[in-house]
Amino acid sequence: MSADHEFAADWLSLREPADHAARPQALLDPLLAALPDSSPLNVIDLGAGHGSNLRWLAPRLQRTQRWLLIDRDPRLLQAACEQARHDPPARAIEIETLQTDLARTDFSWLSGADLVTASAWFDLVSADWIEHLAKACANARIVALFALSVDGRWQFLDTAGDIDSDRDDEFVRNCFNAHQRRNKGLGDALGAQAAAALPRILAAHGFSVMTRASEWSLPAGESMTRALGRMLLEGWQQAAAEQAPDQAERIRRWRDRRRARLDLGRLGLVVGHVDVLALPAA
């Protein structure tokens, strides 16, 4: 994670186990039941990064698949393909990539798709962008599965799993959530508001929509909590200080307090996300 608009492969790799553990199984059965029998099944992954969504979803689709991974970062797309060559995520799968800026909303690549998917993507886009996508998917009657949209909740936990509060948690969270709404090149970003806007807009376009929580649950003391927690604290601090530069010193002190407890294994974390399944009208 970074406060600018680049996504480092090491950040995406670090978050991948937490992302995969968070994804709700409950949306899988209705997804599989709604997908057409096409062979191969044509899947499009928006903002695919280095392929985390592919690695979670492809083994669960139980059929021959052709994936199109779309991202503006060619290095991430290349990493996704290399990993898939080395360790194919499903038995019968073809993977193609498209390096493009998704700010262009002609969405011509949607043609022929059976399933459009994305993970950790919608906080970056505007409500208008979702409107364009929802309209295009509704017209083409495409099933959609959108995973891991942050909902703006994060909470620190103590070793017993109870809430661990710091006087500046809420202040920093508010600064960070405001920073997330800055334009990232895809219109005024929804940030955490995407979690509510996405199902609402899809439903308005006639989709039958199901949402499930997909929060990261990171217990105090575990090595993944320490590693991910450190990166999160750095990202939250950097973004919050950019949002409230006159409070940078207060935010740095908050980061130091939280970091000290995290390093001692006394701090766990919950970070809220939602998954959304949208089925086109019958």
Task: Report the interface residues with ligand SAM, using CB under 6 A.
Answer: 7, 12, 47-49, 52-53, 71-73, 76, 101-103, 119-121, 124, 185-186
Taking CB atoms, the residue at the shortest distance from ligand SAM is: 49
Nearer to ligand SAM, 164 or 275 (CB): 275
- Which is closer to ligand SAM, CB of 75 or CB of 253? 75
Beta carbon of residue 49, minimum distance to ligand SAM (angstroms, whole number): 3
Residue 43's alpha-carbon distances to 67, 108, 249, in angstroms, are 5, 14, 46
Nearest CA to 72 out of 19, 125, 112, 116 is that of: 125
| d(C-alpha 252, C-alpha 90), whole Å | 44
Minimum distance between the CB of residue 47 and ligand SAM, rounded to whole angstroms? 3
100: number of Cβ within 10 Å:
11
Question: Is the CB of 47 or the CB of 280 nearer to ligand SAM?
Answer: 47
At closest approach, how far in Å is the CB of 117 from ligand SAM? Answer: 9
Distance in Å, CB of 101 to ligand SAM, minimum: 5
The CB-of-260 to ligand SAM minimum distance in angstroms stands at 28
* Residue 82 · residue 109 · CB < 8 Å: no
Beta bridge partners of 13: none
User: Which of residues 72 and 153 has its CB atom nearest to ligand SAM in the complex?
Assistant: 72
Using CA atoms, how far apart are residues 44 and 59, in angstroms rounded to an integer? 15
Residue 183 beta carbon to ligand SAM: minimum distance, rounded to whole angstroms: 11
Q: Which is nearer to ligand SAM, 54 or 134 (CB)?
A: 54
Give the Å distances, CA to CA, from 178 to 23, 56, 152. Answer: 26, 30, 10
Closer to ligand SAM by CB, 16 or 164: give it.
16
Q: Say how far apart CA 158 and CA 46 lie, in whole Å.
A: 36
> Helices 223-243 and 248-263: crossing angle, nearest 10°?
180
